[in-house]
Amino acid sequence: SSIAGMPPDQVLLVLQGAEPPILCARQKMSRPYTEVTMMAMLTSMADKELVHMIAWAKKLPGFVQLSLHDQVQLLESAWLEVLMIGLMWRSIHCPGKLIFAQDLILDRDESTCVEGMAEIFDMLLATTSRFRLLKLKPEEFVCLKAIVLLNSGAFAFCTSTMEPLHDSTAVQIMLDTITDALVHYISQSGCTVQQQSRRQAQLLLLLTHIRHMSNKGMEHLYSIKCKNTVPLYDLLLEMLDAHRLH
């Protein structure tokens, strides 16, 4: 389905319908966790979630009409940001905890068993608190997540870290349409125009934090790979390597 001309309410419905399920970890390790068991659980979850993320992306209006090259570029660029915003959304009602899966809920202190992990947990928990304070709505969340995917790689050619998109205009149209849907949703809140503008800015400013956390997380995952103590799954490796290649 094409996104051009799609009414904002329909965009919101499609985005909400595309949402992936909350998964189960199943391979529960015994506590207390070690660096190896913790990373084995987290990387296994990330690998499973990546498959659902690809299914989600294919349901975004306009995504499958992009060239395969552009689909790959966007997913490679944004995958950890998309995982992180989903994690924070799942955790919004549980202060101090991160809900990686229905049966994998971790608090900050548990992350200290992995070197360098507590710093990333702290950033994720702080940004989740910001989501909670802003009372982020499901409609706003689905827009932000789609914006993260489309924005992350859209202007990357400026930094020469990845190949340019074949059709950046098509991605920009998708981005504009989803931004319009977000603005439309906020406009129905009954707030003043000034408050609406402020909320749009507050929500979009969160994306800078998500990009920062993703960069930190990518470096951390790469260090885990280099230690060679936790076997990484093929799809996760492929996505991680894409960042190293760039």
Site of interaction with other proteins (CB under 8 A) = 48, 51-52, 54-55, 58, 68-69, 71-72, 75-76, 234-235, 238-239, 241-242, 245
Least distance to other proteins, CB of residue 48, Å: 8
Least distance to other proteins, CB of residue 63, Å: 9
Question: 123's torsion region: left (phi>0), alpha (psi -120 to 50) or beta?
Answer: alpha
CB closer to other proteins out of 186 and 236? 236
CB closer to other proteins out of 163 and 180? 163
Least distance to other proteins, CB of residue 234, Å: 6
Least distance to other proteins, CB of residue 58, Å: 7
CB closer to other proteins out of 106 and 149? 149
Please give the full DSSP string across 20-70, using - where no structure is assigned: PPPP---SPPPSSP-HHHHHHHHHHHHHHHHHHHHHHHHHSTTTTTS-HHH
**Residue 19, SS3?**
coil
Check if the beta carbon of residue 38 is closer than 8 Å to that of residue 113.
Answer: yes
CB closer to other proteins out of 48 and 199? 48
CB closer to other proteins out of 226 and 234? 234
**Helix ranges (DSSP H) in 60-167:** 68-90, 117-133, 138-152
Least distance to other proteins, CB of residue 72, Å: 5
The span from the CA of 241 to the CA of 246, in Å, is 8
Which is nearest to 211 in space by CA: 54, 122, 84, 118?
A: 84
Give the Å distances, CA to CA, from 130 to 3, 85, 123, 185: 30, 12, 11, 20
Least distance to other proteins, CB of residue 235, Å: 5
The span from the CA of 240 to the CA of 243, in Å, is 6
CB closer to other proteins out of 55 and 191? 55
